[in-house]
Amino acid sequence: MEVLNPATERVIATVPAGGAADVDAAVAAARRSARAWATSTREERLALLTRLRDGLAGAQEEITATVVAELGAPVGFAAAVHAGLPLTVASSYLTLLAEHPFEERIGNSLVLAEPAGVIAAITPWNYPLHQIVAKVVPALAAGCPVVLKPAEDTPLVARLFARLVHEAGFPAGVFNLVTGTGAVAGAALAAHRDVDVVSFTGSTAVGRTVAETAGRGLKRVALELGGKSANVVLPGADLTRAVNVNVANVFANSGQTCSAWTRLLVHRDHYEEAVSMAAKAAEKYVPGDPTDPRTRIGPVVNAKQLARVRGYLEGAITEGARVVAGGPEPITELPAGFYVRPTVLADVTPDMTVAQEEVFGPVLVILPYRDEEHAAELANGTEYGLAGGVWAADTDTAAAFARRLDTGQVDLNGGRFNPLAPFGGYKSSGLGRELGRHGLEEFLQYKSLQY
Ligand code: NAD
């Protein structure tokens, strides 16, 4: 499979397109290593995972350069998030592994938390290393061997990760990588009868298929899927800050963030003010070369994604949305690359496609609400429930409103990301949780001994 740089449209590498036989070999290797790995001591696992964490720390520049090249993420963002966040998450699991109670007394039972078995990890391209680390590191910490099938567009950082696992000295078979397409390698892995848990991050459509297949095989399944998260600005909040943070949130990673606040909900009395603020803030995001440290927004990942985002923008205009920044017109200022104009849409109504479906591009829609009741109804009014934001005059007011939202994460007045807090979705945004203790528990199963 060819790997393209989305900023230059040039082929930068080729990787094997693994097939069912490769998946079989990888799962067999994982199975062979499973018992020894499951019975390794906490200290042995900690020592190896510490070496892996140190490997991630030592490879930060190489990781950054790889993600800039295969995803098109701006270099500053790539260094902080694509390289930095996986390091934070890997470090968090060293502490969690050191402290986790794998045995617990409940009445006359001793409850043992044992590894859940062979893990199939299937990951997308948008935060390619973070999504790998968020599955593989807790799975290994729990004592489970893993077979990873990374996204087609970003296999290079997955190969870099495989090298770091190898250099850390993990026993053979404990970690396995199969690059390949979703339809062939991904489907074979999700359906494999010797896999115990399928941990999938990607689109809701593919997630459903993976869950159906896993259901037939009675495998456990964890799904991190799409989102259409709302950022609700309540009267009395700092509107300027709420709008500026929202614009930055939605344009980060060219809008290719599952938890992005793609819908801004503002009281109708402040609506036009918020729309002008957002339009003004959007002007600062000029698409450019991701290797230039001044660039704030790079291309989207591939030609298909570019066409999809433009299609959503054209559809929104047809349905009556008002373009106040950006728009569907192609970018002619740059010589090559899959660039989209960072776009803000006003006069969006809740039934419009662009207010309901995940665009996965740098597109913010702004909707007015009448009162808090209406705001909650709009915020909850999509099939998704992954993340969200609430801004209010004080944290208590914001927290009271956040309790009404059907969503897995809510940031109050710009509260920052917590890598130890459970991350995952309500409704069609998924099943199960990643990160922190909850993420570790996804890879454990329980045995009770009564005496
Ligand atoms: P995708 O669903 O197309 O692909 C995800 C992974 O699944 C890839 O590795 C792909 O090869 C594989 N795959 C595709 N078809 C498959 C099949 N039939 N069987 C098994 N595996 C298959 O998604 P994408 O386009 O790579 O990623 C974007 C989507 O991921 C967005 O919808 C986004 O919201 C979602 N996402 C969710 C989270 C989260 O934590 N909730 C995080 C990141 C991305």
Bridge partners (DSSP) listed for residue 412: 390
- Each residue's pLDDT tens digit, 26-54: 999 999 999 999 999 999 999 999 999 99
Question: What average pLDDT does the chain have?
Answer: 98
Instruction: Report how far residue 181's alpha carbon sits from residue 1's, in angstroms, rounded to the nearest whole number.
Output: 9
pLDDT level of residue 293 (50, 70, 90 thresholds): very high
Test site for ligand 1: of 132, 225, 312, most ligand atoms within 8 A of the Cβ: 225
- Each residue's pLDDT tens digit, 375-399: 999 999 999 999 999 999 999 999 9
Q: How close is the Cα of 112 to the center of ligand 1, in Å?
A: 33
- Each residue's pLDDT tens digit, 311-334: 999 999 999 999 999 999 999 999
**What does the pLDDT average to over 108-127?**
98
How many other C-beta atoms can be found within 10 angstroms of the C-beta atom of residue 343?
29
424 close to 267: Cβ distance less than 8 angstroms = no
pLDDT level of residue 146 (50, 70, 90 thresholds): very high
pLDDT of residue 338: 98
How many other C-beta atoms can be found within 10 angstroms of the C-beta atom of residue 294?
10
pLDDT of residue 330: 93
pLDDT of residue 153: 98
Nearest Cα residue to atom 4 of ligand 1: 202
pLDDT of residue 320: 97
Angle between helices 42-58 and 155-168 (to 10 degrees): 130
Give the DSSP letter of residue 81. I
Give percent of the chain above pLDDT 90. Answer: 100
Q: How close is the Cα of 85 to the center of ligand 1, in Å?
A: 20
Distance of CA 297 to the CA centre of its chain: 18
Place of tokens 């590191």: 137
Instruction: Determine the length of the chain.
Output: 451
pLDDT of residue 127: 98
- Each residue's pLDDT tens digit, 401-426: 999 999 999 999 999 999 999 999 99
pLDDT of residue 360: 98
Is the CB of 190 within 6 Å of ligand 1?
yes
Residue 11, C-beta contacts closer than 8 angstroms, at least 6 positions apart: 2, 3, 4
DSSP-assigned states of every residue in 296-346: SB---SSHHHHHHHHHHHHHHHHTT-EEEEEESSPP-SSSSS---EEEEEE
pLDDT of residue 244: 98
Task: Say whether 258 is catalytic.
Answer: yes
**What does the pLDDT average to over 267-290?**
98
pLDDT of residue 409: 98
pLDDT of residue 80: 98
Question: What 3-state DSSP class applies to 369?
Answer: strand
pLDDT of residue 92: 98
SS3 content of the chain, % helix, strand, coil (to 5): 45, 20, 35
- End-to-end CA, the chain: 56
CA distances from 446 to 44, 109, 134, 174, 319 (A): 22, 12, 22, 21, 52
- Each residue's pLDDT tens digit, 151-192: 999 999 999 999 999 999 999 999 999 999 999 999 999 999
Task: Say whether 272 is catalytic.
Answer: no
Question: What 3-state DSSP class applies to 171?
Answer: coil
Instruction: Report how far residue 116's alpha carbon sits from residue 139's, in angstroms, rounded to the nearest whole number.
Output: 9
User: What is the maximum span of the chain, computed from C-alpha positions, in angstroms?
Assistant: 74
pLDDT of residue 344: 98
Return the ligand 1 atom nearest residue 190 CA: 20
pLDDT of residue 297: 98
Domain boundaries, the chain: 2-225+429-450, 230-419
pLDDT of residue 138: 98
> Burial level of 38, CB count in 10 A (0-12/13-18/19+)?
middle
Instruction: Report how far residue 254's alpha carbon sits from residue 352's, in angstroms, rounded to the nearest whole number.
Output: 22
Q: Please give the CATH superfamily to which domain 230-419 belongs.
A: Aldehyde Dehydrogenase; Chain A, domain 2 (3.40.309.10)
- The top-level CATH class assigned to 2-225+429-450 is alpha beta
Options 70, 152, 224, 434, the catalytic residue: 224
Options 70, 258, 434, 442, the catalytic residue: 258
**What does the pLDDT average to over 343-369?**
98
pLDDT of residue 377: 98
- Each residue's pLDDT tens digit, 220-243: 999 999 999 999 999 999 999 999
